[in-house]
């Protein structure tokens, strides 16, 4: 752990001291970061009064719902940033429409300042654990097998809800690790269908994409191997595990992949269609059960890069991702229609949102761009961490509302835990970053409970958001008064830093202290390492080429292990 002095210089001689008595004083309560405690000190009485009224509303709902809390359906779209879905005024800018998501947005609340993490795995970790991914040690979007994943010591939302009477299922992208403890069925889900890896394997390194030249150096057919000595340097994507199915307490197995098969774009599309159908099937099964349910659908689309499979474009945009966004909007329309057919719309909370900004490496060709906020996937800029997010709960959340309060994807953990009667199951031995935003959902704008965000790129804290201002953190030893700062309402693209005298003098010191408090809390509650274990452990039917891949990786990893 780096010292505070290595990160930011002290401002005006102010030193920050947090004694261990702070941690002891919070024993038995959810442990929060310092910024939340500052807000709680100012607004705690009002929040407590609001919570009493909210508890009455929730009790009335449960009484009408047979004594049960609501179902939860969470749909997370991959690499879809702010303004890419559900905002019809932008159709003319984007060159495509998403009518089903737009209708859904009109039926509920649009969270206009939803922040996520800069890439897919960190956002998913934050949502499921309620913690900044850096705290879990698993905050990187892994593209190849490594024997690493979300540790079993982390407590996920699925575990919290399952412990409190929910049936749980996950369908679609997972991307939380390639070891047994990190699979969805071992992280609280009763049933799961998901690929082990992500679209770098499925969409960029499928045989169709390789033939179109989207990735170099992978397909050995496209170059001579006369001087290649190390046959293991290039990962064979076809030897990696693809889609899996499993149930809690049982084995997990790979499906729809035969020995020697070369995974193509057609296979990728078929996998996505199966996940959509499985979501429909699981929802019907869960709706007939006696328990409330938590169902996650994380579609593979709209990530798609090939063009040879597009017979005729359906959009003015014409990019493969734009075409896939329209297709997945159709999938979501089917799911929302099934919710109505099953008669569960009024007792089901549904959230639809993106996980991070667009994949800028394929900008323009894909049909995406940083149209409003600058930046994209992997970046701490607003374009990397601002997404469209919508929530619907008929009769409980006012229709057609747009709120400007700041929210973060980790807030879903705490909010869903409360609404699912699971607050008592939230762990008390670690910092929980997610804030309960039930008041915002049920009471509306100005009732949010955060006005700050810490934005990481991997393990590095890169920027701070407080109210409408944002500071890009200086390098170690840099003077925070001279750091780049932005008024996000006046300069949403973060390309014209504010004058250091006009803004820096007023906020530079406070931003610096905000960062120092955050890092000091990390000294009290240190970041943990990710989970480790045997690569593809627990998968009962590995193909011969997969076993060879595992053997090669384990041999190379073993060369650096101290024999003592």
CA-CA distances (angstroms) from residue 467 to 320, 404, 405, 407, 471?
36, 10, 9, 11, 11
CA-CA distances (angstroms) from residue 263 to 75, 238, 274, 456?
26, 6, 15, 34
Contact of 294 with 72, CB cutoff 8 Å: yes
pLDDT of residue 208: 92
CA distance 343 to 106: 20
CA distance 175 to 83: 25
Homologous superfamily of the 34-456 domain (CATH): Alkaline Phosphatase, subunit A (3.40.720.10)
| Same fold flag, 4-29+460-524 and 34-456 | no
CA distance 545 to 547: 5
CA distance 47 to 438: 11
The secondary structure of 48-80 as a DSSP string is HHHHHHHHHHHHHHHHHTTT-PPEEEEEEETT-
Tell me how long the chain is.
564
Question: Domain spans of the chain?
Answer: 4-29+460-524, 34-456
Alpha helices in 87-227 (DSSP H): 91-94, 99-106, 120-129, 133-136, 157-163, 199, 207-211
* Fold topology of 4-29+460-524: Arylsulfatase, C-terminal domain (3.30.1120)
Q: Can you give the pTM of this predicted structure?
A: 0.94
Question: 337 is written with which tokens?
Answer: 């229609």
Q: Which residues touch 265 (CB under 8 Å, ≥6 apart)? A: 203, 206, 207, 208, 209, 304, 306, 308, 309
pLDDT of residue 16: 36
Residues of the chain with pLDDT under 70: 1-27, 500-501, 504-505, 564
80-96: b (≥16 Cβ within 10 Å) or e = bbbbbbbbeebeeebeb
Beta-strand relationship, 460-466 and 469-472: antiparallel
């Amino acid at each position: 752990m780096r010292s505070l002095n290595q990160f930011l210089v002290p401002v005006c001689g102010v030193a920050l001291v947090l004694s261990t008595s702070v941690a002891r004083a919070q024993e038995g309560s959810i442990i929060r970061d310092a910024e939340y405690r500052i807000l709680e000190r100012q607004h705690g009485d009002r929040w407590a009064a609001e919570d009493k009224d909210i508890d009455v509303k929730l009790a009335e709902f449960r009484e009408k719902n047979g004594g049960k809390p609501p179902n939860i359906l969470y749909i997370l779209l991959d690499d879809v940033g702010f303004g890419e879905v559900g905002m019809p005024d932008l159709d003319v800018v984007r060159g495509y429409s998403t009518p089903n998501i737009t209708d859904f947005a009109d039926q509920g609340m649009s969270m206009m300042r939803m922040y996520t993490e800069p890439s897919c795995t960190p956002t998913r970790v934050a949502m499921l654990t309620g913690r900044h991914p850096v705290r879990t040690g698993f905050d990187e979007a892994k593209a190849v097998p490594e024997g690493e994943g979300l540790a079993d010591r982390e407590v996920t939302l699925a575990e919290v809800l399952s412990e409190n009477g929910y049936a749980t299922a996950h369908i679609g992208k997972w991307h939380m690790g390639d070891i047994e403890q990190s699979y969805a069925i071992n992280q609280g889900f009763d049933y799961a269908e998901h690929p082990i890896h992500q679209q770098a394997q499925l969409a960029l390194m499928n045989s169709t994409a390789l033939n179109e030249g989207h990735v170099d150096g992978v397909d050995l057919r496209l170059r001579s191997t006369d001087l290649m000595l190390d046959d293991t340097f290039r990962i064979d994507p076809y030897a990696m595990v693809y889609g899996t199915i499993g149930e809690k307490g049982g084995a997990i197995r790979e499906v729809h992949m035969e020995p020697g098969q070369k995974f193509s774009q057609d296979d990728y599309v078929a996998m996505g269609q199966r996940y959509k159908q499985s979501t429909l099937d699981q929802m019907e099964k869960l709706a007939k059960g006696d328990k409330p349910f938590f169902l996650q659908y994380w579609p593979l689309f709209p990530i798609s890069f090939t063009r040879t499979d597009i017979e005729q474009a359906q959009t003015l945009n014409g990019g493969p991702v734009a075409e896939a966004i329209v297709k997945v909007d159709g999938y979501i329309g089917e799911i929302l229609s099934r919710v109505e057919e099953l008669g569960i719309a009024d007792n089901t909370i549904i959230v639809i949102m993106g996980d991070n900004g667009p994949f800028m490496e394929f900008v323009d060709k894909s049909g995406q761009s940083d149209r409003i906020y600058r930046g994209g996937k992997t970046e701490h800029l607003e374009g990397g961490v601002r997404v469209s997010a919508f929530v619907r709960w008929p009769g409980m959340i006012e229709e057609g509302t747009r709120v400007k309060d700041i929210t973060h994807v980790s807030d879903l953990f705490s909010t869903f835990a409360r609404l699912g009667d699971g607050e008592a199951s939230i762990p008390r031995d670690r910092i929980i970053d997610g804030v309960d935003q039930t008041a915002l959902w049920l009471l509306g704008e100005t009732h949010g409970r955060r006005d700050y965000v810490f934005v990481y790129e991997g393990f590095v804290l890169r920027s701070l958001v407080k109210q409408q201002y944002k500071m890009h953190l200086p390098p170690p030893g840099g003077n925070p008064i001279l750091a780049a700062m932005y008024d996000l309402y006046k300069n949403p693209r973060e390309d014209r830093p504010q004058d250091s005298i006009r803004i820096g003098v007023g906020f530079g010191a406070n931003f610096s202290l905000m960062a120092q408090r955050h890092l000091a809390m990390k000294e009290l509650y240190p970041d943990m390492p990710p989970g480790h274990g045997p690569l593809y452990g627990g998968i009962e039917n590995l193909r011969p080429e997969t076993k060879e891949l595992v053997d090669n990786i384990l041999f190379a990893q073993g060369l650096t292990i101290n024999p003592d």
